[in-house]
Structure 1
Amino acid sequence: MKLAFSVILLLTIVAVCYASSGDVQPEYLSCVEKCTSQTDISQLPLYLRLLRWTVKQDCGYHCMQNITQYAIDNNRYIHQYHGKWPFQRFFGIQEPASVIFSILNGVMHLRYFRLLKAQVPDTYFLKKFFMVIPITGMNAWIWSTVFHIRDTQLTEKLDYFSAGLYILYGFCVVVLRVFYVRGIWAYIWTMLCASLYLGHVSYLANMSRFDYGYNMTACIIIGTLQTSLWLVWSIIQYTRLGNEERRPFAWMVGVSVVLVTFAMCLEIFDFPPIEQILDAHSLWHAATIPLAPLFYKFLLHDTELETRVTKSAKDKRSS
């Protein structure tokens, strides 16, 4: 489920680097300059000031909207501004649709956090590791929400860092589960992953300029490894002979990672937002909402089987 986050980072970088033709439009620049000279910060509504909109940024928004509306009315090319499509903001919220879908994704992770806590036995060794999955998921979607509410250098970094944590922790867990890493080695592996993440964040945070290329490469490598392990493992488990060893529910985790990968294709076929609200990125966020349950249902089925097999083995030894 994490590979798509990695690809989104790449596509975002491409958008920032190549898709800001509106920024240099003479009519846009002159409009912003004129508006800024005639506007005072006190004239901005309170909700804009609370969200730290400056006069120049607010002027840029209104100039962008005027130019975009003219382009729509006259069937002309719609430009991007500062690496983003022109969206209709709502009470200062820059991308309302992505905000709503990010919140719904977070709610889905919260729901399965509660189910994992209630249904997975405390005696199951991996429960404590599995419980962190929805926590990192909720964290990622919280900062995605904040970033889409207000795009700043800080919220952008927090969005990247939380997505990176979600990706790396997913890789950490799949290694624990697929290779049956247990005991002290499980904690050593987890600490190693934590150290890698802290090193990753420290490197990016201490740079004078955010290294998008390095961050993208690191996330894609880890996300691809994680997705590949789940997919190969699910195929092997689903097709195994022998009723005691076969896991007929293993298809869930394989299908979930494949469908999320397909959903990310919405980002590839980028297009101007419909009614200046729904774009490819927001639709990708919408597509992931019903896919998260498939992964968590697999975890619930898998832990049920694992605990049943473990209990049966203990009963045999005791008898």
Structure 2
Amino acid sequence: MLCYKRILFINPIFLVTILILLVGCTQVYSSKGDRSKDFENCVSQCSSSTCPERKIPLIRRLLQWSCENECEYECMHEITAKAKESGGEILQYHGKWPFYRMWGMQEPASVLFSALNGYMHYQYISVFRRQVADGYYMKKFYVAYCCVGVNAWIWSVIYHSRDFVFTERMDYFSAGFAVLYSLYTTALRVFHIRKTFPLASWTFICLVAYTLHVSYLLSGTFDYTYNMTANVVVASINNAIWLYWTILHLNKRPDDAWKPAAVGALLSLFLSLELFDFPPIWGVFDAHSLWHLSTIPIIPFWYNFLLVDAEREDHRERKGKKTMK
């Protein structure tokens, strides 16, 4: 009973953290930095004196850095350097901290950590194919789960490399799909959805929900608050289902039934990094990049649980079929 209380205490942290983020996070269409007269004057003078004669390195041209973008980058760091010297406030520009780019990438730390997250998902594609029995019903869904994760982190890499409307939308839509697909597979696993009609119905509901979600976000001005709310609701439902499973199986499987609850607790704890937003350390590591760093070890922890769970479930189902015969 004490274990149940601990689990019930841990998981609401996820909801509380998300709610605080939801209240505190609004999309920044323009920031204090790029609205400042010093920045505007600096960019104007730079553009008029250096464009269009300036030669931009090939790698940055491939990433769509224009002469005006170069001026904005230089002015941003020039103003930031002065602020540091005078003890002034370090400002954000276009919703981002003044990062030092690398090879044209705007947020190199987030790019690196996103790539590592994607790699963790990628390497488990072959692991699930190799270690999970072909006859186990969830195998194909878990392989797809890994692929969905790879796709989401690829778009995170692209978005953090260069922030455009298209790359931002693809990052958000891919992340949203990953959250929804996680709920989709959770329901299949926990509620043992196997028969054709329930499976088709659940698949249809999820596809329609995602289609309506994307359609609404593309129908007009992008609603960042709604997008955050939708992902919070889906993630919370997913977390609640696994908590339900944990409570039911804690006595039956004390060695690993706690792991889904632990994953929820760790994610909520690490997500709280976003609450303590701060200017990037050394111009590279901000709270968001550290959040991406923290999720890397959670992926193998979670997938290893699913692998052991798949082996146990497959054995249980095979044993059940033999008993029926």
What TM-score does the superposition give when structure 1 sets the normalisation length?
Answer: 0.91
Q: Which runs of 4+ in 1 moved over 6 A?
A: 3-9
**Equivalent in the alignment of 2:4:** none
Q: Secondary structure at the match of 1:125?
A: coil
Deviations 1:85-120 (A, max 9, x none): 100011210000000000000000011121111111
**Equivalent in the alignment of 1:23:** 34
Change (3 A) 1:6 1:204: farther
**Equivalent in the alignment of 2:55:** 43
For the pair 1:285 / 2:298, whether they are aligned, the reply is no
Moved more, 52-61 or 27-36: 52-61
**Equivalent in the alignment of 1:199:** 212
**Equivalent in the alignment of 1:122:** 134
- Matched length: 310
2:273/2:288 contact within 8 Å kept = yes
How far apart in 2 are the matches of 1:125 and 1:234? 21
**Deviation of the 1:176 alpha carbon:** 1.2
Q: Secondary structure at the match of 2:210?
A: helix
Moved more, 81-90 or 304-313: 304-313
**Deviation of the 1:261 alpha carbon:** 1.1
2:51/2:68 contact within 8 Å kept = no
**Equivalent in the alignment of 1:257:** 264
Match of 1:101 among 103, 113, 123: 113
Q: Secondary structure at the match of 1:156?
A: helix
**Equivalent in the alignment of 1:186:** 199
Letter in 2 for 1:27: D
**Deviation of the 1:7 alpha carbon:** 7.6
Deviations 1:18-61 (A, max 9, x none): x8111122111100000111222452222221111122221111
Letter in 2 for 1:202: S
Change (3 A) 1:147 1:118: same
Deviations 1:127-178 (A, max 9, x none): 1112211111111100000000000000000000000000111111111111
**Deviation of the 1:199 alpha carbon:** 1.8
**Deviation of the 1:206 alpha carbon:** 3.0
Change (3 A) 1:95 1:9: farther
Change (3 A) 1:7 1:277: farther
2:26/2:225 contact within 8 Å kept = no
Match of 1:73 among 70, 80, 85: 85
How far apart in 2 are the matches of 1:188 and 1:48? 47
Match of 1:63 among 59, 70, 75: 75
1:88/1:95 contact within 8 Å kept = yes
Structure 1 vs Structure 2: percent identity of aligned residues? Answer: 43
**Equivalent in the alignment of 2:6:** none
**Deviation of the 1:263 alpha carbon:** 0.4
1:15/1:84 contact within 8 Å kept = no
Q: Secondary structure at the match of 1:16?
A: coil
1:65/1:86 contact within 8 Å kept = yes
Deviations 1:185-240 (A, max 9, x none): 12321222012112211222232x21112211111111111112112322321134
Change (3 A) 1:58 1:7: farther
How far apart in 1 are the matches of 2:21 and 2:320? 46
What TM-score does the superposition give when structure 2 sets the normalisation length?
Answer: 0.89
Match of 2:255 among 240, 248, 260: 248
**Deviation of the 1:121 alpha carbon:** 1.0
1:270/1:279 contact within 8 Å kept = yes
